Chain A
């Protein structure tokens, strides 16, 4: 395995040594513009993010709620593209060689970019994994198998509707970590009761040794602490994107406090994951 492929493993190993859950932060690449997006990306590790889910904007984000949809459209309106997203990763990687960046999005932009070309460029830019929402195991030949062959982990979603019969199928070819998503399956919807998450994570652990990240619905330090008590990582997207959106002017342009709006929330959440097992 090459260096980029192991950055995620190293991250989870370090977290384990520290005996705390990690904090994964989702932001959409190019939201609200390329320059601000890069500034946010660079500020995330310092604010307490252990890894970054970097959204590749798509016009039709079928599995996302209104906040992340809006963020995707803002980015596209400001000129985002897959090539520019990869470029942001490259620029981030010039300064930060440890924080894993997982590219997250939908298949069509990758398919149009070209699977092999995408893998080459993403790996050379320093990406550490892929989450491609609309590629279930049934379509593994498209991207998952080629990615894993080249050492780029393919992180898969598991949901409450993924039953014990289906889980092994979902776990085949999955690497990096497992991303457990809440009941509704759409980003930005209601908080999930902690007991349900505990039971679900427990069920997942009987099927896999991979680290388990839990996402969808975490908004506060307290919630991060609660989820973090049962998961290997908390993944926060909608709340971060909302914080960013709240800092924009009426034309969706970055305000003076846009980066700070994001890092303030991330710092709070970072305290949460540090309290999780206290």
Chain B
């Protein structure tokens, strides 16, 4: 597949005016939804060109989210792996503990400009839901978060956080009662409340303009990394690594470096019980192109085009699709997409806590698991930057019994 797409002059110009990245992306939604997403697109294009919008973003980034996040050299892990230098982009230090707030802040400010007073969101692990509930509390907006009934049970601490922040958590029982169904339900609900409600999508997926807009809001990760590493080392990284659920933290780190050919880029999908088991969440490694949630992208699906369930120990990676820009970067060969299993992620989780005093979320633990397989073979003067996009407090209930069983605790 990779050779079928000729290399473009730049990897940073997409999408086209209809939201396509090559054959991926687009606006595959019901007519009922079209006027809504066209309105969002128009408002976003205006905001994007307005310095006042970015000045407001900058204010909240600095004083509320706590940006810039640190770029931290991880000395003991570097020594442990015995190869290239490992840096962490510490987006787990953001307010609410993950990168999700970067995007939420942008969309909430956009909603405010559009005169919308009510916000809806979908969430899987609850991180995006918590970030959305947080911004809504900050701006005095009403907030409803759609969450698969299964996830409501699995992620109780985040459900409680959202309630404390004043949001209403709506359990979704349709379909498989997980993230994809929460997104279906949020889209359905939005259609019926278009006048008053804004839908804050939590990852770089969905119909145009969401994949591009979410990416733009997350690009602060890569932009900061660029100048921070210039300050620290006086050069570009040799490799970037990030985990992929829908792909928002990854595209945020990657995008500013896509046109620097010396920078190798790796996206790490969740391999669950292993790709051959069929129980995984690796849409690129183990899926094929299809159309879901408003865009064409790689999906987990059967021969009849029915969407199948994803599996990962990490609820944040448990999604049967991936943002369309990643599908395009995959086929163009610019980014290499790899995977890490539940067990490999758990080992990385424990290792990071022990050697760096940082408890990572399960999601970036997948990225670290992949780092552990490649960094040892790189020269000591090379530099790898990994997006540590979330902290692991939310995961302890899932992780501790598993680590005890593995004899790692």
Contact = CB atoms under 8 A, between A and B. Distances in A.
B18 A60 contact: no
Interface in B331-390: none
A67 to B, nearest CB: 11
B47 interface: no
Contact of A163 (B27, B28, B35, B307): B35
B75 interface: no
A61 to B, nearest CB: 8
B286 interface: no
B303 A112 contact: yes
A134 B291 CA distance: 9
B233 interface: no
Contact of B304 (A65, A107, A112): A112
A219 B192 CA distance: 20
Contacts of A184: 191-192
A25 interface: no
B305 A170 contact: no
Interface residues of B, number: 35
A40 B303 CA distance: 27
A107 B291 contact: yes
A185 B32 contact: yes
Nearest to A85: B304
A60 B294 CA distance: 11
A185 B192 contact: yes
Nearest to B299: A108
B29 interface: yes
Given A161-B194, A185-B192, A134 B304 contact: no
B294 A134 contact: yes
Interface in A121-172: 133-136, 138-139, 156-159, 161-163, 166, 170
B291 A111 contact: yes
B2 to A, nearest CB: 21
Contact of B31 (A76, A109, A159, A186): A159
Contact of A62 (B29, B290, B299, B308): B29
Interface in A52-80: 57-63, 65-66, 69-70, 73, 76
Interface in B271-304: 290-294, 299, 301, 303-304
A110 interface: yes
Which interface class (under 10, 10 to 19, 20 to 34, 35 or more) fits A?
Answer: 35 or more
A207 to B, nearest CB: 14
B4 interface: no
A251 to B, nearest CB: 19
Given A62-B293, A161-B35, A136 B27 contact: yes
Contact of B175 (A69, A110, A136): A69
Contacts of A185: 30-33, 191-192
B30 A60 contact: no
B329 interface: no
Given A62-B187, A186-B191, A136 B305 contact: no
B194 A139 contact: no
B26 A139 contact: yes
B5 interface: no
Contact of B180 (A60, A136, A139): A60
A186 B306 CA distance: 21
A136 B192 contact: no
A59 B302 CA distance: 11
B306 A134 contact: no
B18 A138 contact: yes
B184 interface: yes
A250 B53 CA distance: 56
B188 interface: yes
Contacts of B34: 136, 138, 161-162, 166
A58 B191 CA distance: 20
For A61, A135, A162, the residue with the greatest tally of chain B CB atoms inside 10 Å of its CB is A135
Interface string A252-270: 0000000000000000000
Contacts of A70: 174
Contacts of A58: 305-306
Contacts of A113: 304-305
A81 B304 contact: yes
A178 B406 CA distance: 61
A169 B86 CA distance: 53
A170 to B, nearest CB: 6
A181 interface: yes
A157 B32 contact: yes
15 contacts: A57-B306, A59-B175, A60-B180, A60-B307, A62-B29, A62-B187, A63-B32, A111-B305, A134-B294, A135-B28, A136-B34, A166-B34, A181-B31, A184-B192, A185-B32
Given A59-B308, A157-B32, 5 more contacts: A76-B306, A108-B290, A136-B29, A161-B32, A162-B35
Interface of B: 18, 26-36, 174-175, 180-181, 184, 187-188, 191-192, 194, 290-294, 299, 301, 303-308
Closest 6 CB pairs of A and B: A185-B32, A112-B305, A109-B305, A63-B30, A184-B192, A59-B306
